Structure 1
Amino acid sequence: MNSQNRDGDAVVVPAIRSGSALASIRSLGRRGVRVIAVHEREDVPPFRSKYCDETRIVPAPAEDLAGYRDALLALARRPDVRTIVPVREPDVYVLSKHREAFAEHVGTPWPSRETVRETQDRRRLFEIAASVGVSVPRTRPLDEVESWNGNRIIKSRYSTLIDDNRASYADVEFVDPNDPPDTEAVTSRMGHVPMIQEYIPGGEECGFFAIFDEGEPLATFQHRRIRSFTYSGGASAFRESIALGDLDAAGLALLAELDWHGPAMVEFKRDERDGELKLMEINPRFWGSLPLAICAGVDFPALYYRLAIGDPPEPVNEYDVGVGCHVLRGEASYLHSVARYDFEYVERPSLLGETAAVVRSCFEEPRFDYLSLDDPEPIVRDLWNTAGLVGERVSARTRRLAAGQPVGR
């Protein structure tokens, strides 16, 4: 693919801690594309990659969204910059909202603002899914709930909240059916009427990943989540590539209906009650488990770059099934959650059994998001940062104990 690159081509990658950023940097760098990594902090692990040619400190979108937009636009105006890679929700918000401004300078292989708005509004997204036969959990606005029977969760209606020039995310709240929430208080805290959704019990958590060119798929990929950062869920810590017919059909139907352009992750959970895949959400960006797709044979960042420079590649129709990939920090977080926490609706597994499973899978599937002998410095930085966070928490706990203050688990 190097033959397709122009000398001096550069791509901007937000250097977040998720594996998607580092995977994009490594993929592009190995193909001779210069990488400009941007972030609001200097100590992020992707800055330490040998494939990172430049680093830039930019305003934090959580604090100054307009400043972040202006910083990305300034980089886009450089003659060597060909595109920007979206790896988090504020990236997608800025890039889609100001797509025309960016299109004057760089390739824009990401969804339109209208499409992003539909996918980030859970109520509208579920209406679209139902219209093409994709199953969804029973979901309704909080202020329309008449009965509190059964396990439910409260979610923000919008996957990204924009307020006062800041981007933020609302937490998920579990509802005790014997202790219904104060609707007015929850609505006031979230700043809008959130959604109440049935809890989908058990079942596998699956992801359908794709990159589309104006409604046509260039490549697709699937994975099954084996472990998350906690045993109750969250970001994936260990996953493996799969190929399921119903997952493929649901993901393609939904993205085709949205006339998708660019990268997308469609998240599903299989309902153990009826065996159906239920849609959870769409992320209109690259996803945290991107390193797994690359390990299995689908190099999405390379495809994205080709699409951005107006040289779309041939569709990728095959990848290796049964490939596993770990986040070492995530595996440690998972075991920590098993050792220390109780979660609503989820039975805590055996610490001994889960420790053995983690160790065994690391030997059987020795692939990792950060750890790379070819590019070792990011994992060193990540471990250093993690150790610092643990040290801060231990110090804070010690100070509270010394002051006679209560300390939670």
Structure 2
Amino acid sequence: MSSLYDPEQFLSRLPHLPKDKPAAVVFNAHITGLAVTRALGRENIPVLALDRDARAYGLASKYLHSAAICPNPLTNEEDFVDFLLQMGERLPVKAVLFPSNDEWVFAVSRHRDRLEKYYHFPFSPLEIVESVLNKKKLYQTAERLGVPIPKTWYPDEWMDIEAEAKKVTYPCILKPVEQRSFYDAFSAKVLEAHTPNEVIQLLKKVYPHSVVIQEIVPAGLSNYVSLCSYMRSNGEMVAGFVGRKLEQYPPDFGTGCLVKSEDLPDLAELGANILRTLAYYGISESEFILDHRDGVYKLLDINTRTWKWIGLPIACGWNLPLYAYEEAIGSPLTLPVSPTRKGMRWVYLKDYLTLKASGKYVSPQEHLHVHELAELLTGTSETCLDAVLDLDDPVPAARLLENFYTRSYVCPC
């Protein structure tokens, strides 16, 4: 039975939610939202999912109480917030919010004073979130704190574009200050330039989108590592998991499609110190790159939310969404005794197989062998999990297959 309802039916179901178990509201419901839904639903927490696209995989999960299509917060923020307020008026108790993309984080954060009557926010207030998600503010804060970052330039401060462009180290990338609208406009997370003239032309192309310019650190893909953590509001890191990117899609500046768990305690402590300094609490992913030129891990990005492969730390015993939920409602945290499953891999088969077919992969020694694929498909693998395929919750994978022969679905990750 489908959990997706039209808005009126969806709203009518909310008063019947249990009073002793606050609901979790997950949005959007693509790969990230699906992982959060499963992580909480398996703990018998009622999950409500919202998305702007009915094709989102997570809307088909059996672990949902109810789901609905909602206004797009990027283009209709006020309508989206109004829908949350309508939901809140019908909830028997305050629910916990789980935004899984930057635009959703910003939308609820900007209206936190109106929404907190009905919802718990398991992450820092807007001024802190904005200082982290805004790339210019993040890098300038890192420079001020002495946190290593790749060489970075701020073209909106340039007086003489031609002269300043000549000072940039090439090749470089133009990285958006705000990612979602940039991706919607250019279907790319970043744009690459090899000459001053290319930078000048790209700056004209992307206007009025604000960007920073950053050197490309010469490194293999496996030099990209992330601290996946949950920071309590008192600055205590109760979960510090490290994942290493093995493959990404698209192959140039894409998102991870094959990721492996790692044991790097020094990196975990570095990331935790940065988050404490920024006064951020909640779930986050802090991405670093190891620069072999000086042997230093350099900060690339911080996601102040759940992210695409959050299913990996969950599978390794670190249920970050559960910790956020429990602290938000004032319950003791259900921390594992010995969580880490070293060498565990997460794969998004759709992108991974597309990458394999293109021949543009970089870590063939880490790829899945035939018997590993067989175990993955039969649900017997103890060393790998797929982002969508799960025999315990099979309909999201069927939705993925259906999307192949219907209208194209652009991943909003």
Is 1:196 the equivalent of 2:213?
yes
SS of the residue 2:99 aligns to: coil
- Which residue is 1:372 aligned to? 390
The alpha carbon displacement at 1:382 in A equals 0.9
Structure 1 spans left out of the alignment, 5+ residues: 339-347, 393-409
**What CA deviation, in whole Å up to 9, does each residue of 1:99-143 have, x standing for no partner?**
222221221111211011111222221232234442101001133
- Which residue is 2:11 aligned to? none
The 5 A counterparts of 1:6-405 are 7-18=20-31, 20-77=32-89, 78-142=91-155, 143=158, 144-160=164-180, 171-177=189-195, 179-182=197-200, 186-187=203-204, 189-203=206-220, 204-214=223-233, 215-313=235-333, 318-338=339-359, 348=360, 354=364, 357-359=367-369, 362=373, 365-388=383-406
How many equivalent pairs are there? 372
Distance in 1 separating the partners of 2:192 and 2:346: 30
Distance in 2 separating the partners of 1:306 and 1:237: 30
Of the structure 1 ranges 190-199 and 25-34, higher mean CA displacement relative to structure 2 is found in 190-199
In structure 2, the CA distance between the partners of 1:62 and 1:359, relative to structure 1 (3 Å rule), is farther
In structure 2, the CA distance between the partners of 1:114 and 1:359, relative to structure 1 (3 Å rule), is same
Distance in 1 separating the partners of 2:119 and 2:185: 24
CA-atom RMSD, angstroms? Answer: 2.9
SS of the residue 1:207 aligns to: strand
Assess if the C-alpha contact under 8 Å between 1:160 and 1:168 holds in 2.
no
The normalised TM-score by structure 2 is 0.81
The normalised TM-score by structure 1 is 0.82
In structure 2, the CA distance between the partners of 1:269 and 1:97, relative to structure 1 (3 Å rule), is same
Residue 367 of structure 2 aligns with an amino acid whose one-letter code is A
Residue 182 of structure 1 aligns with an amino acid whose one-letter code is I
Of the structure 1 ranges 168-177 and 90-99, higher mean CA displacement relative to structure 2 is found in 168-177
The alpha carbon displacement at 1:356 in A equals 9.2
Structure 2 spans left out of the alignment, 5+ residues: 1-17, 159-163, 376-380
Assess if the C-alpha contact under 8 Å between 1:325 and 1:369 holds in 2.
yes
The alpha carbon displacement at 1:354 in A equals 4.2
